[in-house]
Amino acid sequence: MASTFTQIYYHLVFSTKDRERVLVAEQREELLRYVWGIIRNQHGHLYRINAVEDHVHLLTSLHPSVALANLVKDIKVASSGWIKEKGLFPGFHNWQEGYSAFTASHADKDRLIEYIKNQPEHHHQKTFREELRDLLVEARIEFDERYLD
């Protein structure tokens, strides 16, 4: 793919099944490193990743041969099995079906890195549902409120 050039940043968000608040702070770093490894193994670049009790945010770019849906599937399937095998988060059952993905411009990259970095502070003021709704509205993505829960 020597003549393929891309610069696409993806802000990805996915949550635990039923928004279970099981991603305890003490083990989150291990999970985030594992996800980073999955992205790296698929020749993507991770700019920032963070999580709170019930969801994960990451900013990444993908290798041109990797489809976004395949990357997210790989992250969720592999990390779910790994979490259960290690007993990392005892109350974890699975990831919620689906995910949210937003493209971002190069000009937005630093702002998004800071936004993801500050997730724990951000969620002192806003629930995941409120945050996701705001992200969808800002991106002008049509959605059904029933699927935000």
- At 14-41, the pLDDT tens digits run 999 999 999 999 999 999 999 999 999 9
What is the average per-residue pLDDT within 39-50?
A: 97
What is the average per-residue pLDDT within 112-125?
A: 91
User: Do residues 20 and 142 lie in contact, with contact meaning Cβ atoms separated by under 8 Å?
Assistant: no
End-to-end distance of the chain based on CA atoms, in angstroms? 41
- Which of 87, 98, 91, 41 is CA-nearest to residue 65? 41
Domain 9-148: give its CATH superfamily. Transposase IS200-like (3.30.70.1290)
d(CA 95, CA 40): 21
Please tell me the predicted confidence (pLDDT) of residue 122.
81
Binned at pLDDT 50, 70 and 90, residue 123 comes out as confident
Long-range pairs for 75-82 at CB < 8 Å and ≥24 separation?
Answer: 75/14, 75/35, 75/38, 75/39, 76/14, 78/34, 78/38, 79/31, 79/34, 79/35, 79/38, 82/34
Please tell me the predicted confidence (pLDDT) of residue 142.
94
d(CA 99, CA 121): 22
| Global model pTM greater than 0.75 | yes
Residue 121: pLDDT above 90?
no
User: Do residues 81 and 134 lie in contact, with contact meaning Cβ atoms separated by under 8 Å?
Assistant: no
Please tell me the predicted confidence (pLDDT) of residue 125.
86
Residue 5: pLDDT above 90?
no
Q: If you average pLDDT over every residue of the chain, what do you get?
A: 94
Residue 1: pLDDT above 80?
no
Please tell me the predicted confidence (pLDDT) of residue 86.
96
Residue 112: pLDDT above 70?
yes
